[in-house]
Amino acid sequence: MATSITTQTLADTISQNHAVLVDVRPSAAYNGWALRGEKRGGHIPGSVSFPVQWFELFDEETIKKILSEKGFFSENIILTGYPDDLDRAASGFNRFGLDAVQVHEKGTPDWASQEDRPLRFLPRYRHLVHVEWLEQLLNGENPDKTDMKPYVLAHVNFDNWGDYDEGHIPGAIWLDTLCLESERTWNRHPAGELEQELADLGITRDTMVVLYGRTANPNMSQDHPGKQAGQLASMRAAMILMYAGVQDVRVLDGGLDSWLRAGHSITHEEVEPRSVSATGLDIPEHPEYIVDTPEAKDLIAGSDSELVSMRSWEEYIGNVSGYHYVGPKGRIKGAVFGNNGSDAYHMENYRNHDDTMHSFHEIEANWKQMGITPDKRIAFYCGTGWRASEAFFCAWLMGWPNVAVYDGGWFEWSSDPENPVESGIPENHSGPK
């Protein structure tokens, strides 16, 4: 059995930096959701997220990789979280050679019950919803405990009805990203087209829209963008809806896979959208969320702005273009490396191994190393806007005040030979960590 410590002892220990504090609750609780009726949501400042469920969900090699990524080599680890999870978590850490583990006996709820104890949370965590919240919503309950709004739940992917037809969350409509962006340029549709498409989907300015995608679809061809990018598609849709002016856009953390892991059923029954005659939108209500090529050039030239490449290292240094339909290789000259992941369809460096969002502290720390900070005007770009939309959504959830997506991305920039490009490893850059 691990040694137990009180809340006061925990406070004294972490104030002296004598331990690594690990929060073993689900990511949603760490982000701010009060999942078990705790008085306040959020996490103890300085704590690192490692949900106890990961010990059962992942194989040994994956657990070792996560422990290494999070730097759990301290001789003094304190576990906090929900009290009935702590002994199980301690046993999990012990199995991987971390023996000097203590547990916070009354857990995070006790800390949260004391108003003078500080808590941190993802500023806009309510827009990154979890499975229990969605289950309550679908059961006709009021998970936000506020005035209920009409809502639309949408299963999102690109140009593949079969992805929806193979099984979706009950009540979800099908949302094809082609209704939001052009298949020719991959930029968002003009205002008039967007408004009509949203009206056809039953989405108004005041509709709460909940989006999700399938993390991976083994039945799709290897080179189809939707094979691995269903959840990326939901991020792309979220960004465009926010740009249009939909006031309450949410994404299911972990996508369809999180719903299935929780033991919930899916259906093959098609749900027809309930179209509306008017959306109440004046598109775009948030033009600042998207920049085009002229402003992208201004951001590169500015001293208080950054254009951030959300492409893989191989794309960034010009070894590959990233897409079968994009010929030119290289990067936008002056763009900062944002380190998305392995290729054009993955965002490993922004997600946990269960495809939930990385701890926002970890994302922010990585960005800070590259000079990407919230005091600057930041625009993310990738090939055609999908990966950039996920980075945008993360930054927006974190409360960053001045973030956008360069919609044209590498596809548009590289099509004009007058636009400056570069390749190779930049000076003083050792590559992705």
Distance from C-alpha of 72 to C-alpha of 95, rounded to nearest angstrom: 13
Q: Report pLDDT for 222.
A: 43
Q: How many other CB atoms are there within 10 angstroms of residue 367's CB atom? A: 23
Using alpha carbons, list the distances in angstroms from residue 84 to 45, 100, 109, 203, 430: 21, 20, 12, 42, 44
- Active-site residues: which are they? 382
Classified by CATH at the fold level, domain 287-422 comes out as Oxidized Rhodanese; domain 1 (3.40.250)
Chain mean position to CA 47: 20
Distance from C-alpha of 235 to C-alpha of 229, rounded to nearest angstrom: 10
Q: Report pLDDT for 216.
A: 60
Intervals of CATH 3.40.250.10 along the chain: 3-121, 126-261, 287-422
Q: Report pLDDT for 432.
A: 75
DSSP annotation of 177? G
For the domain made up of 126-261, the CATH class stated in words is alpha beta
3-state secondary structure of 138: helix
Residues of the chain with pLDDT under 50: 217-227
Classified by CATH at the fold level, domain 3-121 comes out as Oxidized Rhodanese; domain 1 (3.40.250)
The torsion of the CA quartet 83, 88, 89, 94, rounded to 10 degrees, works out to 140
- The mean of the pLDDT values for the chain is 93
Distance from C-alpha of 225 to C-alpha of 369, rounded to nearest angstrom: 31
Beta-carbon contacts of 430 under 8 Å, excluding residues fewer than 6 positions away, are none
Best CA proximity match to 400, nearest among 383, 428, 375, 423: 375
Best CA proximity match to 349, nearest among 324, 319, 372, 320: 372
Alpha-helical runs (H) found in 302-399 = 313-316, 360-369, 386-397
Q: How many other CB atoms are there within 10 angstroms of residue 325's CB atom? A: 9
Distance from C-alpha of 416 to C-alpha of 240, rounded to nearest angstrom: 25
Q: Report pLDDT for 223.
A: 47
> Residue 247 corresponds to which tokens in the numbers above?
């006031």
Best CA proximity match to 26, nearest among 185, 132, 170, 156: 132
